[in-house]
Amino acid sequence: MGHSKHGFLYHYFNMANSNPQYLNFEMTNADKKYTNANDYNVFVRSPENDMNYVLDEYTLDGTFVRHIFINNFHCTGKTWNLMYANNQELIFHVEDDDLNNYLYTVPLVMAEGSSFPQMEKAKKICKCNVELENAGQGDVYADSDYIVYQDDVYQIHVYDRKKKKFVKIKGIPESNTYLNGLVGKYFILSNKPFKEKGKEKYAFSYYKIGSDQIHIMDPACYTSAAPICDEKRKQVIYALRTGIWIYDLKQDKKKRLVKWNKKDYVSEMCIRKDRLFVFTGEKDEVYSYSLTGKEKQLHYEKDFTETLKKFEQENELELVIDSIDVVNNKIYICSWRDDEYLMYFCYDPATKQLKKVRKNDPEMFCFLLCRVGLW
């Protein structure tokens, strides 16, 4: 089992046509947790045919609600992506036939317990200078005052909706900038230099929504694992060779959480309840650590590690983990098989059971929710 450097891969899957079973639980705080969901529904781009896409709407337990045809953006082009959803609106990126890029807003109204997009009231917000990335979890944010997003050349942009202009952000490193998630009103950023040598350096920073300044948190942030946003404790967790560190956004300072003395690198991390789960990249081991301050060292997750390795041995393959997410206290793993195609797994630490998730399984909806796939 290895770990991918590809980042998020968008895998197409038509949820409505697969007739999935429904989840036996309902999401909570979905409006705050997920960029393609609000407190009532989940919105997913789905293929209508070989040329066109529609927007599919689901309840939070995975029940299909309706197909929404996207044909009211007042442009002749067919290229569009859902960027963000909240309780008031949907934000879309639209590219017309002349390759002009725009952001649009579509208001939502409640109808029979679900959010109904009023496509006939779609309104242009602004023109974007360059094409936008397909939105992943944590890549974009929108409220009535600001829109924050990452473009296709890895630069961030902040649009002031009241003043109707882009904010000139100070302190942006001359590097590729990646949005890693949101903690309260703080966007967490990592920076990779254009060149391996020179003045540009890796950096780890934050941007507070509403400000015009990026602040460096740690100039030594180069790590193979994406930082983890800990909303409960208003902190960011990241791994370096010297240990696993936290940056306290309330106190504006960093400290080492626990030493890392393994002869391996941290490839992925996630938080389940109050435990941090740590996945290594070479030895393919899983560790965990309590975030309540009750432990002094990492705990080896023997059952979790051996379950993953057993699956590899029995199926004569190597898994290459691409992303890790936690939904309803279960750990969802998106992995390459022999670096060729994606496989999906769900691990329940309470029962210590690993399930391979197939197209019609209800757990597939959780991957959709985490935007590991576009449909």
Residue 208: the pLDDT is 93
Residue 92: the pLDDT is 92
Residue 77: the pLDDT is 58
Average predicted confidence (pLDDT) for the chain? 83
Fold of 2-369: Methylamine Dehydrogenase; Chain H (2.130.10)
Confidence of residue 46 (pLDDT cuts 50, 70, 90): confident
Q: What is the mean pLDDT of residues 227-231?
A: 91
pLDDT of 355 higher than 90: yes
Q: Is the model more confident about 5 or about 278?
A: 278
Phi, psi dihedrals of residue 94, rounded to the nearest 5°: -130, 135
Q: Is the model more confident about 338 or about 157?
A: 157
pLDDT of 9 higher than 60: no
Phi-psi region of 292 (alpha: psi -120 to 50; beta: other; left: phi over 0): alpha
Residue 3: the pLDDT is 47
Q: What is the mean pLDDT of residues 278-305?
A: 93
Q: What is the DSSP string of 322-344?
A: EEEEEETTEEEEEEEETTTEEEE
Please count the CA atoms within 13 angstroms of the CA of 324 that sit on its side-chain side: 25
Q: What is the mean pLDDT of residues 352-358?
A: 94
Residue 95 in tokens: 């590219």
pLDDT of 219 higher than 60: yes
pLDDT of 372 higher than 50: yes
**Whether the Cβ atoms of residue 271 and residue 256 lie closer than 8 Å to each other:** no
pLDDT of 10 higher than 50: no
Residue 134: the pLDDT is 62
Residue 15: the pLDDT is 43
User: Quick one: which of 98, 107, 139, 102 has its CA closest to 124?
Assistant: 102
The CA angle 166-107-50, to the nearest 5 degrees, is 90
Out of 35-44, 106-115, 145-154, pick the least confident.
Answer: 145-154
Q: What is the DSSP string of 87-144?
A: SSEEEEEEE-TT--EEEEEEEEEEETTEEEE-GGG-EEEEEESSPBPPP-TTSEEE-S
Q: Of all helices (H) and strands (E), which one includes residue 368?
A: helix 364-369
Whole-structure pTM value: 0.86
Q: Among the ranges 5-9, 83-87, 370-374, which has the highest mean pLDDT value?
A: 83-87
Dihedral sign for Cα atoms in the order 141, 332, 334, 248 = positive
From CA 48, how far away is CA 180, in angstroms rounded? Answer: 31
> Which residues have C-beta within 8 Å of that of residue 348, sequence separation ≥ 6?
329, 330, 331, 355
